[in-house]
Structure 1
């Protein structure tokens, strides 16, 4: 079985939920729990249950089933736009993606990590640019990294203009490398055979609308790990520094044989 990417499941579930909501209500938060591994070679059925349609907000619950087994649950909230107070944190000073080397240029002398990056981008139809080599480069040699990372990311192919499609795609993109920031801080990578690594839940709060096929900077960090779990969070900015979304993810991170099995 080929494991289905969690961001893909979350994005599809959010898309299913959005199709049951009035178009003037935009997705503003999505919270996904991953209950079992999904099989990328088998279809997923998404069952949407309306929870409430209020004056300003609509809430939907989605069950994702594969071969009759529940693999995920998502709660999504949609908002009718309104006026309010405004503030945001500033973006870090980072060169724009056009001034950064491509992944092929950055990792040309590191064939192992270049092959990893190219496979991830090709499989997910995404594109990366890194201000410095990704944490995985250091951790693949057994060295620990700071518990933070920056990555420019976008969908490789142009997407339709539908706002729901872009927010579902952004939910998909937000899953890339987020939890791995916790692993690399301990000098391990998710692919290490002695490591159990699996996302348990993933949340995104959407702020300003931006296209998912244009460059966004994901500033990622892991503030905590312990008891076999790890927590990561992040902020997605556009090139002008507007805060597009906030992310948070918890997952299993432990050495094999040290505790319970991963979800599955």
Structure 2
């Protein structure tokens, strides 16, 4: 399916990220099969966050979440989310969520919510980079690199729906990579304007936050994620929200990988809005097991 109607595309994504209550403290999220063998990790993080948010009093927003991917999710089946209400304090609320498929845990998350309040403010300055208006989108780069892209990735990249638009600051061909320092920056926004409450906007950001982070630790090794000798998977994922990221406008993801060892790579991201303010921080460790024989 091509992204011919961006507004419909982002609307479908927001519907996908919502979860349906099926019992007390239990919710169900649907999956979508876009040709991948497993459920995209950002979808599970976002749906788990939505499930937790539905058990929290209005006015309290998630300020941090910490999660682990336990088993790959099957895109042919829905996912159940079971929420434990650990604590409801005067300012903070704590929730734990377990995602289940076929009654087996595939993911767990701890999330903390806080009443909105003023406080001291500082943030790392945003790097000076090329503005998004002067960059090509990921869809345009997919066309440029199509001749060197093997099937089925070529067809999948051309035809898949793109509710989010990414514009890399330092583009590369993922199927013919060259070694570079472990730093990557890109802009991201929704494919079309949308309206949503702050819990949904934070869940949408959680969905986007897993898209490119793991690639960062592969950059020094000139290994593309499609290399058959490479086994990659997200192991854990954490987000700290300083504000509600609004994907109606461009957000700059400034990512780096400080280390890799033991078949794992650590990846970090500082996310700025167009004013330069830090809206979120992301950390993820991923499996990057490479077989040389």
Q: How does the TM-score come out when normalised to structure 2?
A: 0.81
- 2:249 aligns with 214
Structure 2 gaps of 5+ residues are 1-35
1:1-264 alignment, distance < 5 Å: 2-106=37-141, 108-111=143-146, 112=148, 119=157, 122-123=160-161, 125-134=163-172, 137=173, 140-256=175-291
> Runs ≥4 in structure 1, deviation > 6 angstroms?
none
Deviation at 1:109, TM superposition (A): 3.8
What is the CA deviation profile of residues 218-259 of structure 1, one whole-angstrom value per residue up to 9, with x for unaligned ones? 11110000011110000111111011100000011121389x
Conserved 8 A contact 1:15-1:165? yes
Please give the secondary structure, in 2, of the residue aligned with 1:132: coil
Distance in 2 (CA, whole Å) between partners of 1:214 and 1:121 is 24
- 2:26 aligns with none
Please give the secondary structure, in 1, of the residue aligned with 2:269: strand
Distance in 2 (CA, whole Å) between partners of 1:191 and 1:185 is 16
What is the CA deviation profile of residues 135-171 of structure 1, one whole-angstrom value per residue up to 9, with x for unaligned ones? xx1x633531210101111232443321000001101
Distance in 2 (CA, whole Å) between partners of 1:37 and 1:230 is 19
Distance in 2 (CA, whole Å) between partners of 1:230 and 1:46 is 28
Conserved 8 A contact 2:82-2:97? yes
Conserved 8 A contact 2:43-2:207? yes
Please give the secondary structure, in 1, of the residue aligned with 2:212: coil
Distance in 2 (CA, whole Å) between partners of 1:155 and 1:69 is 33
Structure 1 gaps of 5+ residues are 259-264
Question: What is the root-mean-square deviation in Å for CA atoms of aligned residues?
Answer: 2.3
Distance in 1 (CA, whole Å) between partners of 2:138 and 2:288 is 27
Compare 147-156 and 92-101 and name the one that shifted more.
Answer: 92-101
Distance in 2 (CA, whole Å) between partners of 1:18 and 1:102 is 32
Distance in 2 (CA, whole Å) between partners of 1:224 and 1:190 is 18
Change (3 A) 1:109 1:240: same
- 1:262 aligns with none
Deviation at 1:214, TM superposition (A): 2.4
Change (3 A) 1:65 1:95: same
Please give the secondary structure, in 1, of the residue aligned with 2:52: helix
Please give the secondary structure, in 1, of the residue aligned with 2:239: strand
Q: How does the TM-score come out when normalised to structure 1?
A: 0.89
Please give the secondary structure, in 2, of the residue aligned with 1:183: helix
Conserved 8 A contact 1:140-1:187? no
Change (3 A) 1:117 1:237: farther
Conserved 8 A contact 1:91-1:237? yes
